[in-house]
A = this chain, B = another copy of it.
């Protein structure tokens, strides 16, 4: 055997997006434990080595279930991260030694995107601490987790670009156009004027107005809408838009 061919561990890491009430994208981070390192410096992305009988999608589903207690979360594999130096930091090697009872100095990870309504109850069976962090206030993380998060932002934009329906996973079942607009603005690189946005949205037959308006609000009460996945599906499948 050519000794130069890699023989290695493989993990999955999950970037779970939520959208908060201050109009910011958030992601879920968990706590790891390494001796002599302050707790606040020990956040990481949820993830796991994969088992020998697992496919990577199964491993990602397992990580999400252990993380949130929610079955069948929306999931999308987006990239394999395999930089030979991604697990070479001494603190990371120490943590892997404690976590997996083994010396590991290279590990390749397959990164996944997922989405979760931010007010959904989190019931982790694996982690003591699971917290939402605004995407613009993510601390320094171990391995290449900051890089994975940076790339996940580009990927979630592409995902919504190719399938606009997944934006509704982050909104309540009934939502106002302002809520949709704010989420869209948080995701988009380019700002869009609210009037143009209204005009555009009103041309989408899959966004259905309800006979219900907001109550107990200080501004003018807005109408609620819902998303219709069946109508959406019929409008898709075009290469040229």
Give the interface of A toward B (CB within 8 A).
1-2, 4-10, 49-56, 77, 79-80, 82-84, 100-102, 106, 108, 110, 157-158, 160-162, 164, 184, 187-190, 192, 200, 237-241
Selected from B50, B82, B110, B192, the residue in CB contact (under 8 A) with A50 is B82
In the complex this chain forms, how many copies of it are found?
Answer: 2
Given contacts A55-B82, A158-B162, 11 further A-B contacts (CB under 8 A): A4-B52, A5-B9, A6-B9, A52-B84, A56-B80, A56-B82, A77-B80, A80-B110, A161-B239, A184-B240, A200-B240
Residues of chain B contacted by A106 (CB below 8 angstroms): 52
A198 to chain B, nearest CB (A): 12
Cβ-defined partner of A52 (8 Å) among B5, B190, B200, B237: B5
State how many angstroms separate the Cβ of A155 from the closest Cβ of chain B. Answer: 11
With A and B bound together, what is the CA distance between A56 and B109 in angstroms? 11
Is A101 a contact of B1 with CB atoms below 8 Å?
A: yes
Most B-side CB within 10 Å, residue of A80, A157, A160: A80
Asked if A9 meets B10 with Cβ closer than 8 Å, knowing A1-B102, A56-B82, the reply is no
Given the interface pairs A6-B51, A10-B6, A56-B82, the reply to whether A1 lies near B161 with Cβ below 8 Å is no
Interfacial chain B residues near A100, Cβ < 8 Å: 1-2, 5
In the complex, are the beta carbons of A8 and B7 less than 8 A apart?
yes
A4 x B53 contact (CB < 8 A)? yes
- A164 with B240: in contact, given A6-B50, A8-B7, A82-B55 (CB under 8 Å)? yes
Query: Given A10-B10, A160-B239, A237-B190, are A50 and B5 also a contact pair (CB < 8 Å)?
Result: yes
A39–B50 CA distance with the chains assembled, in angstroms: 36
- Chain B residue contacts of A4, Cβ below 8 A: 51-53
